[in-house]
Every structure is written in C-alpha cells, then in structure tokens.
Amino acid sequence: METAGGFYREMNDLETALRRLPHGPEFRFVDRLTALDGGRSGEGEYKIRGDEPFLRGHFPANPMFPGVLLVEAAAQLAGVVAQSDHAVPPLENLKLTALRNVKILGAAKPGDLLRLEARIVGRLGNLVQAQATVRTAQQVVLTADLALSGDVI
C-alpha cells in the first residue's frame, strides 16, 4: 500500500482529493489520509471535535456521532479511493447510491478518533462498489457495503 506521502506527491494534498467529491468543507468527515493504494484501498481519520453543530441535538445529555454520518465518512473515504485510480478517469458528481449490510456496532463520541478503511471491490462503468469499516480506539463501530456512482467525464 502506498503511503499517504506518495499520494500527496501525486495529488498535492487531502484538499485536492476531497475536491474530487461534491461535498463542501462543512460536510467533510475525512481529516487525514493515512494510507492510499489508488483505486484499491485507503485509510483515513476523522477526529470528533465535539463542537460539531449536530452534536448539540444528538443527544444533548449524551452526545454521539450519528450513525448516518459514520456511513457518510466511510463513503467519502471510498470516494477518495475510487477517484484516485490512475487507470480510470475520475467520475463527475460522485455520490453514494446504495447501502447493503450496514451494521452500526457501537457509538462514537466527542474526542474519539474515527479510523476509516475503504476497499474497492468492484467497478462497472460509472458504478463503484466498496466495503468499509469505521473504528474507534475501543471497537468497530460500523461495517458496510457501499455503492457509489457518478457521471463519466
């Protein structure tokens, strides 16, 4: 697996990779890439700071990172991996289009470092299939099979 440093030499930085996704900075759940094998697999991190606006209401007395955002973080990393395939041009408007076998196995809380893993398991035209896992230091909190799709440029 290529180190994040090798990826940065080619792609410049995480911002460049994330710009290939349709999300704005306010809705990004990947802070850092720790490993990337372009088009095959990647690892990244997101630190739950505790000041994210959605945590005020989810839940006020016991804040936790929403499960749907665990899925979103995993999908964003899968998108970065898919868009970094040197043999396949990036897809325009890449988005999450299907979920299978999603299991939320635990809670992530403010202060936790989410460790994200995504592996591309198939591609067909504008469809990308991936498997993803999200961990905290204590446990696996999410496993999922994801499908992403976009427009061929």
The predicted-structure confidence for 56-99, as pLDDT tens digits, reads as follows: 999 999 999 999 999 999 999 999 999 999 899 999 999 999 99
Q: Does position 1 have pLDDT exceeding 60, yes or no?
A: no
Helix, strand, coil distribution of the chain in percent, nearest 5? 25, 40, 35
Q: What is the torsion angle, in degrees rounded to the nearest 10, for the CA atoms of residue 66, residue 68, residue 71 and residue 77?
A: -70
40 close to 81: Cβ distance less than 8 angstroms: yes
Query: Which domains, from first to last, does the chain contain?
Result: 4-152 (3.10.129.10)
Q: Does position 2 have pLDDT exceeding 90, yes or no?
A: no
Q: Does position 15 have pLDDT exceeding 80, yes or no?
A: no
| Residues 90-116 pLDDT 10s | 999 999 999 999 999 999 999 999 999
Q: Which residues are catalytic?
A: 58
